[in-house]
Structures are given as structure tokens and as C-alpha cells.
Amino acid sequence: MAQRQFGPKRLQNDAMPPKRILKPVHGVLLLDKPEGLTSNDALQKARRLFSAARAGHTGTLDPMATGLLPLCFGEATKFSADLLEADKTYEATLCLGRTTETGDREGRVIATAPVRCDRAAITAALPGFLGTIAQVPPMYSALKHNGRPLYQLARQGQEVERPPRPVTIHALQFLDWQAPELTLRIRCGKGTYIRVLAEDIGKALGCGAHLTRLRRTEVGNLGLAEAHTLSELEALDEACRLALLAAVDCLISTLPVVCLDEAGARRFCHGNPVPSPSALRKGKARVYARTDAQPRLLGVGIVKADQQLWPERLVALD
């Protein structure tokens, strides 16, 4: 029997791509997320571009939504939860006269109605949604019922009771009305579902509505004007990308500042309290070490009942 002939053995290094070397990158990327990507997809693409060893985002945007998605690298991930509590601003376009099963354009149309309202009627209806209002979370959401995400139940045709939740709408600005599409600017507190707000506005106008476009323009005091797209980042070399990162403390820039001398900084970094400044009698503060150059961020402290400033989260920046 003839021997089988094999080609030369391929070296393992030729068959496998070189292993990516991850680096200790620290900072915040203000990303302009494109439509069609989940927040985690966008995070992983950005993380690869920076070869960052550690990364996280500050709250999700639906795949249909675009706009500001702050991404945290390295030590900045310690403060990502702070932006979950921050107010958000959106520009939203509603299509009146059609209701969908998901509350947005990606769902099946389940009801239609004639649109008889005009600009004056819309303007008169909007103030009713300002302040603290009750929202029923949508079935197509990641909230869980008995350990299962609601969207899984919804896809199986199940609907479960969802108790209303209080949310806060700080501002609701009329931007445009080109029937049947209405565009609004919305500034809201945490936990607000813009899809549900669109549906509720449609109900108040007597015709129903669903969300067709959503763009987030602000998260806390961070704005879309300083954001960058994935395409822009891909066109840059590594040094230029790194230069676009905002400092770690941009996520906590609304907190008051405390600067410590060398002895105080050493004590704070070892997990011990320091005297609280007279102007800071409660709450949290950004804590820095006073240096000859720019103050060095140590972390976040919180004033406790003993009126001492205790370390809450410390950072270790290179």
C-alpha cells in the first residue's frame, strides 16, 4: 500500500495570529455609539483598539439608539457606577398613530389610529409628563421576573405584571413636528424608558405612538460634542487614540475637591480617615494629593458621622 504523502508541517506560530498584548490603560472614552451595536459590542471594539486590560461602560444604550456612551478603562472603571445615577439627555423622534409590540420601530405594529392632533395640542400635552411620573417597565427589557429577563418571556408570547416605577422627567422640549413624526429633547433621571414615554405621550394624544429614533446627547455633565466614533478611532495610531481619552476624574467632576498634604495623602491611601474640611460636612468628595505639578487623584472619600473624611474608593494610577 502506497504511503500517504503529507505536505511540510506548518509551524504553530504560522497557524495562529499573534497574541494581543493588553496594557494598563486608564481614562474615559466618550464614544458616539453607532446604530446597530449593543453597548457591549461597542465596548469590546473600543477595548481592542486601545488594547486595554480592563474596561467597562456606564450604562447601556439599545442597539437602535445612537450617541454618547462613556467607556471606562483601567482605574476609571471604579467610578463607572457614578454615571448610572446621572441624568441623561436624549433627542427622540416619535411616530404618532402607530403602536408596536416593543415600543420602537423594531417591533410589529399592533395598533393604528388617525393622527388628529396639531402642534398646539402636542404642546399642551407635554407638561403632563414633567416631574416625577409613574412608568410601567416594558416587557421587552432586561428586567428580570423569577430570574428570567422579561424580553425572553415576551418573545415566548408571555406577559407578566410589572408594577409602575417612579421616574423623573426634568425637561421636555418640543423640537419639531412633521406629521406624523414628533421630535423632542428629553432630560430625565435614571431608570427612564424613553420607549415607554413615547407610548404614553401617544396615548395622551389619543392616537398611540412608537419610538423611531433615539440619540443620547448628554450623560451628567459629559456631552456628545467631545465624543468620537469608532471609525475616527480606527483611522488613528495608538498614540493619537490615547490622547483622546479624558482623565479618570471626569466621571466624578461634580463632586467637591479636597487636596491633602503629603502626610494626609499617605494616611488616606492606607485606608485611614483624615479631618474633613469645614466646608464639607456631609457627602462625597474627590480627593487629591497636593503636588508641585498637577494634583494627583487619590480617589473618592465620604464624610461619616464622626466628621472625618474616610476613603471610599482609591485609585492606583501610574
d(CA 231, CA 229): 5
User: How distant is the alpha carbon of residue 303 from its chain centre?
Assistant: 28
From the candidates 14, 32, 41, 62, give the one annotated as an active-site residue.
62
Peptide bond preceding 180 in cis form (omega within 30 of 0): yes
3-class DSSP state of 45: helix
List the one residue out of 218, 222, 213, 210 whose CA is nearest residue 249: 222
Q: How far apart are CA 186 and CA 92, in angstroms?
A: 7
How do strand 181-188 and strand 88-96 relate by DSSP bridges? antiparallel
DSSP string over 55-104: EEESS---TT-EEEEEEEEGGGGGGHHHHHTS-EEEEEEEEETEEESSSB
Rounded distance between C-alpha atoms, residue 317 and residue 297, angstroms: 8
Is 62 annotated as catalytic? yes
| Strands laid side by side in the 257-260 sheet | 257-260, 283-289, 296-303, 308-314, 274-275
Cell representation of residue 288: 487629591
Alpha carbons 179 and 96: distance in angstroms, whole number = 8
Residues noted as catalytic: 62
